[in-house]
Structure 1
Amino acid sequence: MAACSSFPHQQGPLWLMGVKINRRRRITSGSADEEPVSIWLTEVRPNVMSAASKVVLGVSVLLTLGTVAAVHLNQAWDRERLREGVVQDLERVERKKENLRLLEEQRILTRHLEEERRRGEERLQSQDT
């Protein structure tokens, strides 16, 4: 792949396109009566990443994937905890209903026991008199 440039110091566009200059050659043409024309031929090759760049890219990709996986797992654990919380709330409500039912039964039994005691005391008092 060759690119032509009439000014050797203009390398900007080549770098912007992601190519790296490998070497340059100057070609001069023209006969003795004509003024010579010079152009610069530049051989370019694709920009190859350095080892440090590859390491940085690899670490960045791994950290990104790790972060995405961690967030995904964290969301899954949060959803599971929310489901467990709902189940525990339902169990708590059922226990509360059962406790209220048992409390009401005990109140009724206590009233019956107090009535029986009162009747028993009334009988004892009526027998003593």
Structure 2
Amino acid sequence: MNSVRFQVHLAEESIIHYANGIKAPLQRIDGALIAPSTMPITFWKRTDAPWLDMPEPLLHGTQHFHYKAPLTAGMELDCLLALTKIEQKPGRRGNLVLYTHSLTCACAGRSIMTAETVLISVGDK
């Protein structure tokens, strides 16, 4: 399906900004600031995923994260965002189209985290 690769430098300032925005506590491990577990959803803004350029708004469905290690300030992440499935379902206001995405991030060649996110468009298709 569709996919896009991109890099993210995880700056301490961006972790602080995101954590303050969601009122998450700031935590450190071995002196390094840890990113809140939901922060990878902001990585999507750093890339151009053409299949997300739709005229209708997308609703946020489900989201799951799996970590092998925490994301910490200073990491250089190699990320892959992929559209893995599209499915249609009937809804009360018309057809629902569910777009399932996978985001994987690695640091220095080592897989760090994966996230699965479902976005939903509502209306006749």
> Using CA pairs below 8 Å that are at least 6 residues apart, which structure has the higher relative contact order?
2
> Hey, which of these two has a bigger chunk of helix by percent?
1
TM-score, normalising length: structure 2: 0.23
> Hey, which of these two has a bigger chunk of strand by percent?
2
